Structure 1
């Protein structure tokens, strides 16, 4: 999107945007400046409607939702692509084009030379002339072979470079906020979202579920870390499948996970957690070598509901206490913090 305002109008929009960001506890980063600048300019009514709904629901605009709205309304996906990678691909294409033109010219010249040689052979019967023609054919054949070989090498190198660029592009696109093993958001994202909700001026129902895989250290000792990683990956897939927006599942650390449920109370969270506990209990993992079915995967859950004026740290601490209560009470169960 292009911003065509003059300096005075731009300054006015900024003066309107900053107090709103402060009011709704919006982190002061460039993305949010652009988002709220666009909001106060009212140039995209659909964006304003979505932000208004979000503020009404959460009392703030959670970072992940803000980023999503920024991508959908303020910029196009094409702009988000790596300019450097695009430039490299363009240069690569131009180089191949030049090499193809060079090879085509050599091929054309070689064809003309063949025609001339055939004509000369038909017109001359001198052994000396025939020898000269054959030598010329040999030299040009070697030349065209070298040219074709060079072009083939250029294509091969280009394919290798394109694969490398593709891998680099995928690497740069990989979100640093994503846990690579489970595919869930990491604790940094969780902290940012929870701090923002806790700091919002409007209090809204927020439940936190903490869950921990039971006896995971023993599982790793018995079956190996590769099997342990397989379990963690399964947990990641299960949580992503079960947690619908605005529920935010994250890998909190090690074998511990957290689910932030904005707009839900502890009763809703308990029902959700119990359903999840039963699905985890039903996990069956087969060992490749022995063919043995592993059926001892369970998890314990602790739930807390944020009270008014409670900090993010206090909410986590109470959920942790409920989680440890679940573990100390025999594991594979759900406990709610008082």
Structure 2
């Protein structure tokens, strides 16, 4: 297995994994940690599906079940989606080629039989023999129709399987661009979308704005109330930002408590207004613990806003938004700064 998780992501997955291990009353041994780290990261679709189905049917896990899941979905997991798809495509093509060979053989045999029938059509052929030959011809035509029908069905099935592989690849790609905790885009998803958005700005420079937001004093939330509460705060922030944007706009979690909001076709004044509206929304939220109703106090965000300058490097665009965010932090937090 090869992991490329950032330090922040790996810490997040660790917390989630330990939470799940404790929830199911399992020992924190390397096998369980590996299984639940994979589950928390969301990268292993088949493992997650297997665990979810087992929980739904049985609720608890035995050592044998966990070992089976580990062997099947961790050790036996292909390293890349490309490899998985390639192997499945090999099977599909093997079936198609086998059907082609069988169909070719059927046609060849029918060709030989029809030639022999043709040779039997000699002058002065008795009527009874003519009837036999007509019957044989009908039989061979029927055989050819069956072979052709089987071949068409095999091609239809192969097309269906290839379509399913395309859907599987799309799901893997989508999962790889999502943050497993907040279910918004991750940094890779943000960078891919940013690159595409910059490419669409064109020579005329249709506006493209970027907001970077950071939760104020988030460490205090974790230290005071624990990481599970901190995780819920992150989910709430992501969901609130997502509800505030529309269309082709994108929200991504790009760091521990840092979010990026990408706004294609949005002028700088509109981006600044959106950031201010979000700031006021968060300022008005009174967060409480679900189980006790205990107030968590006010959770505010600081914002940095900027607009893309045609032809500038991507790094400069992001850095300017970061600098604007830093200015908001330095001048008291819970503010919007536009650069």
Q: What TM-score bracket applies, with the shorter chain setting the length?
A: 0.3 to 0.5
The TM-score normalised by the length of structure 1 is 0.48
The TM-score normalised by the length of structure 2 is 0.48
RCO greater where, 1 or 2, for CA within 8 Å and sep 6 or more? 1
